[in-house]
Amino acid sequence: MIPVRGFDGAHVAVLGLGRSGISAARALREGGAQVLVWDDTPAARERAEAEGFEVRDMLRPGAFDDIACLVVSPGIPHLYPAPNPVIAAAYAAGVPVDNDIGLFFRSLGEGWEMFDRAPKVVAVTGSNGKSTTSALIHHLLHASGRDSQLAGNIGRGVLDIDPLEDGSVVVLELSSYQTDLARALTPDVAVFTNLSPDHLDRHAGLGGYFAAKRRLFAEGGPDRAIIGVDEVEGRYLANQLSEGRGDDRVIRVSSGTKLTGPGWQVFARKGFLTEWRKGRQVASIDLREVTGLPGAHNHQNACAAYAACRALGLGPRDIEAGLKTFSGLPHRSQTIAEAKGVRYVNDSKATNVDSAVKALQAFTNIRWICGGLMKEGGLEGLAPGLPNVTKAYVIGREAAAFALGLPGVEAEICTTMERAVAQAMHDAQPGDVILLAPAAASFDQYDNFEKRGEDFAARVLASLG
């Protein structure tokens, strides 16, 4: 645990008692704060009371009179589409609002003067690829013998990690919800993967969404920034952070575009990762041999992770060895089986059109299981990947409407995962890929994308015996 500093003896309120909220409450208490908690769910309040926390309804009159800070869980709106009433009450009372990420950064450096090598923090944000990039950085560090912990949106709660050791590294995956509200953001290395429309209601549009991501760099002031430049927002961000073409504090990353010049670049083309620095090629790695990172989108993740590890001092050959042992993350282009010439891939995390089209472009001869709760913006963005689809098997309550949005693709309305898997397996020929990449949210049929991916995997494995 990382005890939260700066609130010894003060009253601090915690709103939302999920994983990050209860973790923040414990870390605040460990640091000496007097912690009060609130959650709309009675069961969550009862669990907190069982741990000895005082429960206070933060909407009662005078609730904020003695509160020094309100700590908010990331799922609770603090601005758009409207602030949660408790947060609005904190604003009205002039009480600072923060989250566990802000508490983490304000408390991290305690006792570091005793270390020969100060620990480092790598923070990863962006729309797609955050989890894979974060996990890959952690894996590469671990494989090279560096002490590393993975936390934030993936792995452990950020305040639940073990106390840091000499030269250790913390790798954080950070969502826009987390970067938007944190009052302290001071990573040593910050990574921006890419940007595509998502969570627009929480940020009042694409500009607000990008602004939340940008805070990690503009206010965080990292020593090194790794920026995906395949979208205009990334090119803008890299330009804003750089003092000139040769400024190697910014490492530009691309999948598909050759980057050259006097600065520091890492890019992937035709399956090869290349590092280019000070006008010359430094290293090259054949990513086609890395089975855990299929497709151009994963090659972008590999470039970002490679750049972050190079910024931390790892050598190219050590990184290459680590890449070859990375098996990928569950529900993200995860090969769950290969049988009779057919490959079965679980990409249930492809919950939006942008991530789904990247999965479609990673394979050919696809029997595609798709559908679910459609998001804003329609399905037009899937067009570049549709030529790789042999047939679509559509699930979800909106299956018929989803199928209509796939022009030129043979589509069968299956509705359920059970029927989709059975029909795709019946139709499959050697050389085919049966791919779950829904391009939609899971909530019409499942609690989350993990449950959806687990259902797909279980039905495939049961059918294969």
As annotated, the binding site for ATP includes 126-132
SS3 (DSSP) at 131: helix
Cα end-to-end span (Å), the chain = 43
Sequence-distant (≥ 6) Cβ neighbours of residue 291 within 8 angstroms: 335
Query: Could you give the C-alpha distances from 296 to 191, 302, 360, 432, in angstroms and in order?
Result: 18, 10, 10, 19
Query: Could you give the C-alpha distances from 166 to 147, 211, 259, in angstroms and in order?
Result: 9, 34, 35
Phi, psi (rounded to 5 degrees) for 208: -65, -35
Q: Binding site: what residues are annotated?
A: 126-132
**Residue 457 and residue 461: Cα distance in Å, rounded?**
6
Instruction: State the amino acid at position 33 in one-letter form.
Output: A
For the sheet with 54-55, list strands across it. Answer: 54-55, 34-38, 11-15, 67-72, 97-98
**Residue 320 and residue 287: Cα distance in Å, rounded?**
9
**Residue 23 and residue 18: Cα distance in Å, rounded?**
8
SS3 (DSSP) at 10: coil
Phi, psi (rounded to 5 degrees) for 245: -60, -30
**Residue 347 and residue 444: Cα distance in Å, rounded?**
18
SS3 (DSSP) at 38: strand
Q: Largest Cα–Cα distance in the chain?
A: 69
**Residue 73 and residue 339: Cα distance in Å, rounded?**
44
Query: Residue 81, preceding bond cis, omega within 30 degrees?
Result: yes
Phi, psi (rounded to 5 degrees) for 384: -60, -25
Instruction: List the Cα angle 286/172/53 in 5-degree steps.
Output: 155
**Residue 72 and residue 103: Cα distance in Å, rounded?**
11
SS3 (DSSP) at 223: coil
Quick check: 373 and 423 in contact, CB under 8 A? no
